[in-house]
Amino acid sequence: MFHVKEPAGANPVTDLCSWVPQEERARCDIRELVRHGDASEEIVRLATEEPYDLVVLGAPRRRFFDGMVLGTTTLRTVRHAPCPVLTVGAGDSTMGPGLSSEKG
């Protein structure tokens, strides 16, 4: 689990792995990582430094006229990551606590 604390960010996430069921923890190598800086840059940097097969990113979608658009962090990460990026929408209940966005 990875979280980037941005300078202007609000609501820091504590205990990133608390929502992962115990039986899943036994089957996976789970680590909690926190970095500071620009979220997309730090996500891409980590994905470049270590051999990840997939980045899963909580991606709030915002309304723009009649459609939905992704945020800047999501777009930059998808464009520059060295591996596939799976985006999970804020309305998806599988994202766990602290990973959804406010509607607005």
Domain of 55, CATH number, reads: 3.40.50.620
Q: Is residue 89 part of a domain?
A: yes
Q: Is residue 21 part of a domain?
A: yes
Amino acid 2: pLDDT: 78
Compute CA distances 63 → 5, 24, 75, 77, whole Å: 25, 34, 15, 20
Q: Is residue 101 part of a domain?
A: no
Q: Is residue 47 part of a domain?
A: yes
Token pair of 51 as six digits? 């051999």
Alpha carbons 37 and 55: distance in angstroms, whole number: 18
Q: What average pLDDT does range 78-91 have in this prediction?
A: 86
Token pair of 99 as six digits? 């990973």
Confidence bin at 17 (pLDDT 50/70/90): confident
Q: Is residue 57 part of a domain?
A: yes
Strand ranges, E, within the chain:
2-5, 33-36, 55-59, 61-64, 67-70, 85-89
Instruction: Enter the pTM of the model.
Output: 0.66
Q: Is residue 12 part of a domain?
A: yes
For 33-72, what is each residue's pLDDT tens digit? 888 899 899 999 999 998 888 998 887 766 666 555 567 8
Q: Is residue 80 part of a domain?
A: yes
Amino acid 9: pLDDT: 63
Give the domain range for residue 85.
Answer: 2-95
- On whether the CB atoms of residues 86 and 58 are closer than 8 A, the answer is no
* Structural domains counted in the chain: 1
